[in-house]
Amino acid sequence: MKNIGFIGLGIMGRPMAANLIKAGHTLYLFNRSPQNMIELSQIGGIPCQSPQEVAAHANIVFVMVSDTPDVEAVLFGPTGVIHGINPGSIVVDMSTISPLATRRFAEKLSNLGVEMLDAPVSGGQIGAEQATLAIMVGGKKEIFETVKPFFEIMGKKITLIGGNGDGQVCKMANQVVVALTIEAVGEALLLAGKAGVDVAKVREALLGGFAQSRILEVHGERMLRRTFQPGFKIRLHQKDLKIALQTGKELAVPLPNCATAQELLTAVAAQGGADLDHSAMIRALEILAAWELGG
């Protein structure tokens, strides 16, 4: 058993950290909101005052925060990881951030004798709780093999994509597919509903055919039930698509439907829905159709 650090105990990070604790590892914790640390301390986690303190105790430091600036602050800020970490340690960033920034962070850590993996995840809160996340990893193969047993505690499908930043590129691709599929499911269910057909039966039929998908199964049900508690918040998916669109511009790769999905998320956020589950994208489509699912 190793001493593990875990920084960022939100919707995703908290159950991921809990699974590591339950597996018998000593976890040093930091979160901006102390309450989440208190909850995990009740099952054996050790709260710390800063990322620096976490890093001073841990051989491997996991980071699970919201955006690129947050990761940069955790790693390199005044009380950041670099001020406490020992050479030979490993930083594993499981956030979803810019691939270019990831490569820059990895280089800075390497200069201090610290290895880094980027390991963004897919599967949402349910996947985090059930330890069935897909984990997409970038970094050196030997470092990946060292950390893989811990990934296997948190996830089910673990893939080494390539070097530093490549895990983040894979996650960008994942988020594009997810956003466009949510949009497609929303369009399909609205079309069926406004045509006067039983939408629940349409969804049931589609789940047995070539249109079947995990998003139709999970998010389609959320759309029907109007249950938009996150899950995965719209504002976070907006951030992910922003990264994808920026990268697309840099590489001269047009992403027209990704841009459309981003605008639909923005429309929901503008009406106060930024913290709803991303399946609430259907609300923007409902406004365009002048018809509400189940209405």
Catalytic residue annotation: 171
Percentages helix, strand, coil for the chain (3-state, rounded to 5) are 55, 15, 30
Nearest to 20 by CA among 38, 48, 46: 46
Asked if residue 122 lies in contact with residue 174, where contact means CB atoms within 8 angstroms, the answer is: yes
Both tokens of residue 1? Answer: 């058993």
Strands (DSSP E) contained in the chain are 3-7, 26-30, 46-47, 60-63, 90-93, 115-118, 121-122, 133-138, 155-162
Q: State the CB neighbour count (10 A cutoff) for residue 263.
A: 11
Measure Cα distances from 112 to 82, 85, 142, 154, 244 in Å. 8, 9, 18, 28, 30
Pairing of strands 90-93, 60-63: parallel
